A and B are shown apart, each in its own frame.
Chain A
C-alpha cells in the first residue's frame, strides 16, 4: 500500500526529482483522496491539518462574500498543490477549496510533514524549496489581478 503511494508521490509533478529516501518520508504522511465535483477539500477558518497534491480534476479557491456570493480567487489543476496555509502558523485556511470536477489527489497530513521537517532539516529545506515557488507565484499573480491589467485598456 505504502509502496504504491510512494510511486504516486514520486510521479507527481510537484515532487519531480525528489530523492527516494525523501519520497519515502513524504509518503509516510500521505494517503489517496477523492472529491466529487462540488465537494469541499477544506473550508475557510478550519485548521489546516491536510493539504492536497492534485492528480486529476480542477479545484477552485473561493472566498465567501455575503454581498456577492462566492468569489473565485484562482483555479488549480493536476500537478499543483492545493493549500499553503499549513506552512505557517496559525495553520488555518483563509479560503474554501471546492472541487470543480471529480478530483483525485494525494492528501498529506500537515502536522506529520511539519514534524518530519523539524526533525530532519535537510528534508525540511527540500520541502521549503518546493513550496516556496507556488507561494511566490501566487503573490505575483495576486498583484497582477489586483492592478486590473485588462481594466481600462488592452
Chain B
C-alpha cells in the first residue's frame, strides 16, 4: 500500500474540512475532503494545521467508503487542539495513510475480541465497520469498551446500535459514575473475565492507554489467548511517519513503519519498561 506515490511523502497535500462533529467536550470528528481515500483499518495520517504543526491521527471512518475520510481527535496539546478547532471549509494538511493496521485477514474464521479504552475506540472503529460488514467471515464478535465516565463515552449512538445486534456482544463500563447510571462500573478487564469466547481460536485487538492495554493483554492471556494473537496499537510521537527520523523508536521497532499495530508477543517486554 504505497501512500500517494506521486507525492513526496514528506510534503502534505492540502485538503479541506468538509464536516465537523463535536463528540465530547475535548473530542471532535473531522470529515476531510480528500477525494478518493483508501486505507486499511488501523492506519493513520499525519494531519497539519498550517502554522501550528503536525500530528499523527488514526483514520476513524469506514474503510468501505473511500469518499469520506474521517478522523477523531482529542485536544491534548497545541496541534491536536488546533485540529479540533478547525472549522468547515478550512484547509488541513494531509500525509498518509501510514503504518500497518489491524490483522483483518488473520482474524478471519476466529472469535474476535475488540477491547477499546477511552479514545482508543476511534482507531478501532474502521476494524469494527469491517467486522460487521463482513460478519460471516468471523466467529463471535465481542466489543468491550471502557471509559472514564458516562459523559466520556465516545460514539455513543453507534455503540447503542451495535449493542442491538444479535450477532455481537457489546459491553461498556466506566470507571466513575453517579448513582443514576445503570450500566457497568469497574475496570474494563472485568468484562474480559465474563465474556464468552473460544480462547485458543480467538484474536484480540486492543487500543487505549498503555496501562490499560497491558492489563487487558494479561487478562486475555489468563483466559488462554496466545500473545501472538493479541494485537495492540501503540502511540508514540511522530515526525516523519515513514521510518526515517527515528523519532518514534520503541526499543528495536519504529512505531510508524513497523506498527502502530503490534502483537503482545512483540511488545510484552518493552511495555513493562518504565521509559523508552
Interface string of B178-215 (1 = CB under 8 A from A): 11111111110110001000000000000011011001
The distance in angstroms between the C-alpha atoms of A60 and B178, with both chains bound, is 11
Interface size class of B (residues with CB under 8 A): 20 to 34
Q: Contacts A144-B211, A149-B209: A62 and B179 contacting too (C-beta < 8 A)?
A: yes
Central interface residue in A58, A150, A151, by most chain B CB within 10 Å: A150
A124: interface (CB < 8 Å): no
Q: Are the CB atoms of B148 and A150 closer together than 8 Å? A: yes
Q: How far is the CB of B24 from chain A (nearest CB, A)?
A: 11
Residues of A within 8 A of B119 (CB): 150, 153-154
**Cα–Cα distance between A77 and B117 once the two chains are bound (Å):** 21
Q: In the complex, which residues 134-160 of chain B have their Cβ closer than 8 Å to any Cβ of chain A?
A: 146-148, 152
A98 to B179 alpha-carbon distance, docked (Å): 10
User: Which residues on B sit within 8 Å (CB–CB) of A2?
Assistant: none
Residues 64-99 of A contacting B (Cβ, < 8 Å) = 68-75, 77, 79, 98
Interface class of chain B by DSSP = mixed
The answer to whether A75 and B212 touch across the interface, beta carbons within 8 angstroms, is no
Q: Is the CB of B118 within 8 A of A70?
A: no
| A60 and B118 contact, CB distance less than 8 A | no
Contact with A along B73-112 (1 / 0, CB 8 A): 0101000000000000000000000000000000000000
User: Are the CB atoms of B76 and A153 closer together than 8 Å?
Assistant: yes
Contacts of A148 in B (CB 8 A): 148, 175
User: A100 within 8 Å of B by Cβ?
Assistant: yes
In the bound complex, how far is the Cα of B184 from the Cα of A73, in angstroms? 10
Q: How large is the interface on A (under 10, 10 to 19, 20 to 34, 35 or more residues)?
A: 20 to 34
Which of B146, B178, B194 gathers most chain A CB within 10 Å?
B178
* CA of A150 to CA of B117, assembled, Å: 7
Is the CB–CB distance between B152 and A145 below 8 Å? no
Q: Is A136 part of the binding interface, using a Cβ–Cβ cutoff of 8 Å?
A: no
Contacts of B130 in A (CB 8 A): none
- Contact present for B179 and A69 (CB under 8 Å): yes
> In the complex, how many angstroms separate the beta carbon of A60 from the nearest chain B beta carbon?
7
| Min C-beta distance of A39 to chain B, whole Å | 14
Instruction: Point out which of B117, B152, B187 has the most chain A C-beta atoms below 10 A from its C-beta.
Output: B187
Bound-state CA distance A58–B185 (Å) is 11
A70 and B185 CA atoms in complex are apart in Å by 13
> B120 contacts the other chain (Cβ, under 8 Å)?
yes
Kindly identify which residue among B177, B178, B182, B209 contacts A154, using a CB–CB cutoff of 8 Å.
Answer: B209
Residues of A within 8 A of B184 (CB): 58, 75
> Which residue numbers of B lie inside 8 Å of A, CB to CB?
74, 76, 117-120, 146-148, 152, 173, 175-187, 189-190, 194, 208-209, 211-212, 215
What are 29 A-B interface contacts by the 8 Å CB criterion?
A: A62-B179, A68-B178, A69-B179, A72-B178, A72-B181, A75-B173, A75-B184, A137-B190, A144-B187, A144-B212, A144-B215, A145-B176, A145-B187, A149-B117, A149-B118, A149-B208, A149-B209, A149-B212, A150-B147, A150-B152, A150-B175, A150-B209, A153-B76, A153-B118, A153-B209, A154-B118, A154-B120, A154-B208, A154-B209
List the interface of chain A (C-beta within 8 A of B): 58, 60, 62, 68-75, 77, 79, 98, 100, 137, 141, 144-145, 147-154
